[in-house]
């Protein structure tokens, strides 16, 4: 067990909560019993070790490299499996999705990670447009740096 200082998954509140959902609702994220839950925990362990060894890698690169990842949602496009943030009116980044990967990145104290921006507030988008049109200068923000249209690297 790499998380929680060597404590077994079964002893964690996270595992207990997932087990309760499975027993009460009959399923949690497609897991219908504790054996599937245990496999999920093993996948999280592998994800942690992969990121620790190789750094954080985008879903597209992982697929190209054929590195196994958590893939309990195969019907989503790869870019939708990234850590996702929204951008508030003042440029504040608001976490939206990708809790496991974000938690692992924080545990490993990674300096920055790629994220997908899901939604930008209208006022932020207007400022962003002015920056790219050359009417605003001197604003340092990861969403204003040239990069792939869907993925940005942010400091965590």
Higher pLDDT, 151 or 90: 90
Q: What is the mean pLDDT of residues 127-144?
A: 90
Q: What is the mean pLDDT of residues 32-54?
A: 88
110: pLDDT confidence band, cut at 50, 70 and 90?
A: very high
- Express each pLDDT in 65-82 by its tens digit: 655 544 555 566 666 678
Residue with tokens 């954080």: 56
What pLDDT is recorded for position 66?
Answer: 56
Tell me the average pLDDT of the chain.
82
What pLDDT is recorded for position 90?
Answer: 96
Show Cβ contacts of residue 54 under 8 Å, excluding neighbours closer than 6 positions. Answer: 67
Q: What is the mean pLDDT of residues 35-41?
A: 88
For the chain, give every domain's residue range: 1-54, 73-156
Residues 135 and 129: their CA atoms lie apart, in Å, by 9
Tokens of 76: 């989503």
């Amino acid at each position: 067990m790499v998380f929680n200082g060597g404590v077994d998954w079964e002893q964690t509140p996270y595992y207990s909560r997932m087990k309760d959902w499975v027993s009460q609702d009959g399923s949690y994220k497609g897991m219908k019993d504790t054996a599937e839950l245990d496999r999920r925990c093993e996948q999280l362990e592998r994800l942690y070790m992969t990121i620790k060894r190789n750094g954080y890698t985008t879903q597209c690169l992982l697929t190209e490299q054929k590195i196994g990842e958590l893939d309990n949602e195969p019907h989503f496009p790869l870019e939708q499996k990234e850590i996702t943030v929204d951008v508030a009116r003042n440029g504040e980044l608001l976490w939206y999705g990708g809790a496991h990967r974000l938690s692992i990145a924080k545990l490993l104290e990674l300096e920055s990670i790629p994220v997908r921006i899901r939604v930008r507030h209208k006022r932020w988008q207007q400022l962003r447009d002015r920056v790219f049109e050359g009417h605003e200068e001197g604003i340092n923000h990861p969403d204003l740096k040239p990069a792939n249209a869907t993925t940005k690297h942010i400091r965590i």
